[in-house]
Structure 1
């Protein structure tokens, strides 16, 4: 029986339940399943586990030639729990004959819902108004409605499209920026393709969903933040380095924009010395956009399905380095 080892999650009631379910599902497909959570990440332990497994379900830590070269004779497939793969050295994986896949779209609903939650929270000034209740100082903060507003979506992949779908009930005007636009999808969503400058100038709320790469590093910078309306808000549920946090802090401190919501940060956990923590017009959450029972199970199931297809010789469109078998 082939073996899958999963490194994702922590030892809580929810993850115990999900991994029990994953174990039963993997066994139904003919796989042994082991859960070996890494808290904190231990490279040596990961290597030993992968030496005794056929496939691994990995988290966000770096995976490079040091790991691949030691596990290549056993584990031929690594599946990223989620979609981001910027810390995985795909060239090194291919050199060692290891396929790397990701669970594309499995967490779409959870992340899109969180983006909407952050937009609503920032626009209705939930953080500030909660403080009013906590302190007993009932100086009410008056926000702006999302209904009928213009929302800009940076990146119109699965999550961006789902967010657009959720916004239909709010009668919003949807503006889209995407460097590789799917015009049919944009038209179907009733959205309008615009430039980056137009997104920042015209939107009442902006949600960031572009992948992180060299070209998108700090795509939200001081210059673009300066284009935004004073009543506008911006949220990020994608990757921390997409926003220049120093520039965002200055924009929020001086009320150049109304608010922000961040679920991801350049450094995680967010350092307690971060100036962002001093602001009252920002909502901060600890990278939990995909942390719903529904999305997490979708990811587990999809990761196991990818393993099953791979070892059945079916391949997978979710494999990122299709040249892995040329090693």
Structure 2
């Protein structure tokens, strides 16, 4: 690998937060080209530079044949994260492009924000923070987490970490998953049941399903209507899992007492998103995995995957 190769990094804040990973790539004779935008790159922006790129550390930009056919040198896309619904794995394989991801490394960060959003929703702390700074002295009466039923839709690594953290809150934990991990469930007193039972019985429903064609708009009008009156809904998984029109209606009718979402059907969001009409929804900008610890560990894993490909070794977490 004597000739210098070019790595496009579309994940943001790479130099600041992934310095060790960048140094590792440069030490192995890679030139780093960073995303100049504080957002996912668009097709037109990728089109201008992809022709000379040998490898990509990908954020949540879209990667499919429309880009692959313009990228004759591209050999590997190393996803800076877990979800690869933005990458067409079959088309990548057809073009000889290996795709990897970085599983498990962001689980704690996402789980911590999930618990944060649950607690903030129950106690209305975001609105109280704003009103107190405005000189008001509201007597908002919140709800305690203790004694509540918390339903986890999906029980992968992140949901398992959420269960671990909630175990000490004296809650009743329910979970739905097609491939239940009974050993970990038993460790935290998690009871597996149907998603219908979770929706009907839970005071708080937390979304952790993967983004697949069959889970698109999993939470639709019918399923929001199945939830308990005055319950809470949290989504730190993927925006496509939730029909935002149905979520709007659930908030408008009072079916939901409150909601908290970190992900959206269309990202980045715009200020005219109808959900911003409500005070009883907490919205964050797909930030659940944004921690220094995640950037450091994922940065190193994605860099090593790229190095392995050009050393003609099978990279860890090869997906196609």
Could you say whether these structures have the same fold, taking a TM-score greater than 0.5 normalized by the shorter chain as the test? Answer: yes
Q: Distance in 1 between matches of 2:129 and 2:229?
A: 22
Q: Distance in 2 between matches of 1:177 and 1:267?
A: 26
Q: Distance in 2 between matches of 1:185 and 1:23?
A: 36
Q: Write the deviation string for residues 53-92 of structure 1: whole angstroms up to 9, x where unpaired.
A: 43211121211223222324x2211111112222222221
User: Which residue is equivalent to 2:209?
Assistant: 210
Q: Distance in 2 between matches of 1:47 and 1:188?
A: 49
Tell whether 2:161 aligns with 1:162. Answer: yes
User: Which residue is equivalent to 2:114?
Assistant: 115
Q: Write the deviation string for residues 3-49 of structure 1: whole angstroms up to 9, x where unpaired.
A: 35142344xxx643224332223345x24240321526254654565
1:36 corresponds, among 30, 34, 37, to: 34
User: Which residue is equivalent to 2:248?
Assistant: 249
| CA separation of 1:116 and 1:48: change in aligned 2, threshold 3 A | same
Q: Where does structure 1 lack aligned partners over 5 or more consecutive residues? A: 322-327
Aligned counterparts, 1:86-235, within 5 A: 86-235=85-234
For the residue of structure 1 that corresponds to 2:163, the secondary structure is helix
Aligned 8 A contact 2:20 2:300 in 1: no
Identify which range, 258-267 or 212-221, moves more after superposition: 212-221
Q: Distance in 1 between matches of 2:81 and 2:216?
A: 20
| CA separation of 1:31 and 1:112: change in aligned 2, threshold 3 A | farther
Tell me the CA shift for residue 125 of structure 1.
Answer: 1.4
Aligned 8 A contact 2:149 2:174 in 1: yes
| CA separation of 1:270 and 1:27: change in aligned 2, threshold 3 A | closer
Q: Distance in 2 between matches of 1:271 and 1:110?
A: 25
User: Which residue is equivalent to 1:307?
Assistant: 306
TM-score for the superposition, normalised by structure 2: 0.90
| CA separation of 1:189 and 1:222: change in aligned 2, threshold 3 A | same
| Aligned residues between the structures | 316
Q: Write the deviation string for residues 207-248 of structure 1: whole angstroms up to 9, x where unpaired.
A: 111111221111112222223233421111111121121121
Q: Distance in 2 between matches of 1:305 and 1:123?
A: 42
User: Which residue is equivalent to 1:324?
Assistant: none
Q: Distance in 1 between matches of 2:220 and 2:90?
A: 30
Aligned 8 A contact 2:8 2:33 in 1: yes
Q: Write the deviation string for residues 184-222 of structure 1: whole angstroms up to 9, x where unpaired.
A: 332333211110111112212111111112211111122
Q: Distance in 2 between matches of 1:38 and 1:96?
A: 27
| CA separation of 1:6 and 1:112: change in aligned 2, threshold 3 A | farther
Q: Distance in 2 between matches of 1:42 and 1:287?
A: 18
Aligned 8 A contact 1:155 1:209 in 2: yes
| CA separation of 1:3 and 1:170: change in aligned 2, threshold 3 A | farther
Q: Aligned Cα RMSD in Å?
A: 2.2
